[in-house]
Amino acid sequence: MFFIPGFVIAILTFPGVMVHEAGHKLFCHITGVPVYETCYFRVGNPAGYVIHGPVYSYGAAFVISVAPLIVNTATALFIFSIATNVSSPLAVWALLWLGISIGMHSFPSSGDADNLWHESKDTVSAKHGMWALLAVFGFPLVILIKAANVLSIIWFDLFYALALFGLATSVFGAIPLTGPVSSPPSHSVPLTAPDDSFVAWDDSTSWTDWTTITISGSVTNTHDKWSIEDITIEIEKLDKYNKTIGKSAVSVSPSTIPPGGKGTYYKKLIV
């Protein structure tokens, strides 16, 4: 594993730092804890911070401490889900950078873990009923946070963000990193007009109510990259007022025309 100074990582992933601090501030507001000062990002240590007033319940202390784990994780998953529905490769890569940056800063800091440890210890010692039960679960969470901070030396935070990326793609589908790779709808693929097609009447001397005609011709796929599939030529029967009174579809063979390839069609129709 290669080492990159923390302030460089913070600069490269600054959206994650901002969402991290926004998470702390959000849960301060939700729990009614006053916020005195907020720094969403700076070049320094720490890269961001929230200074808030006293916390009077363990529940408030708990959610304020773990807020980034909730907010950053949810935000990263949301951004990855958007990336699965974007067709522009440039936009996809921008969303991936944003999602990974935010996901990498999901874990609370060691200072947050220390605060949660002391709050958990005091609450359990004081036997504050329901909060004491929640505080019991605070201890292993503190250990997890501490471990994540230590393991960030070997890019655990990045692996966590990539795990969120994997989860999002498994739920919402693959992310198109290089643009379209499958055949687009046939109507969006350039084709030459079937100018060499013709209609031959098998009875050219007279008109009858029921006449057999033969229609044939060819189409060329002029695209240099994509194949096209399932091309059909639609024939319409018109009355003397040019109203459509019947339709018939003629399939082009082969069913898949490669770039630059040509397909032909042939069918006898009774009109």
How sure is the predictor about 266, in pLDDT bands with cuts at 50, 70 and 90?
A: confident
What's the mean per-residue pLDDT of the chain? Answer: 83
Q: Please report, for the chain, how many H helices and E strands are present, in that order.
A: 7, 9
| H/E segment holding residue 220 | strand 212-220
CA distances from 248 to 126, 204, 245 (A): 84, 22, 11
Domain definitions of the chain by residue range: 6-172, 186-270
How far apart are alpha carbons 66 and 54 in whole angstroms?
17
90, 78, 82, 79: which is closest to 179 by C-alpha?
Answer: 90
CB 269 within 8 A of CB 215: yes
10 Å Cβ neighbour count for 112?
21
CATH number among 2.60.40, 2.60.120, 3.30.70, 1.20.1050, domain 186-270: 2.60.40
Is pLDDT of 202 > 80? no
Give the lowest-confidence range in 134-138, 153-157, 173-177, 235-239.
173-177
How sure is the predictor about 78, in pLDDT bands with cuts at 50, 70 and 90?
A: very high
How sure is the predictor about 107, in pLDDT bands with cuts at 50, 70 and 90?
A: very high
How far apart are alpha carbons 250 and 232 in whole angstroms?
5
Contacts of 173 (CB under 8 A, 6+ apart): 84
Per-residue model confidence (pLDDT) at position 192:
58
- Tens-place pLDDT, residues 94-105: 999 999 999 999
Question: Which ranges constitute the DSSP H helices of 109-217?
Answer: 110-126, 129-151, 156-172
Is pTM, for the whole model, over 0.75? no
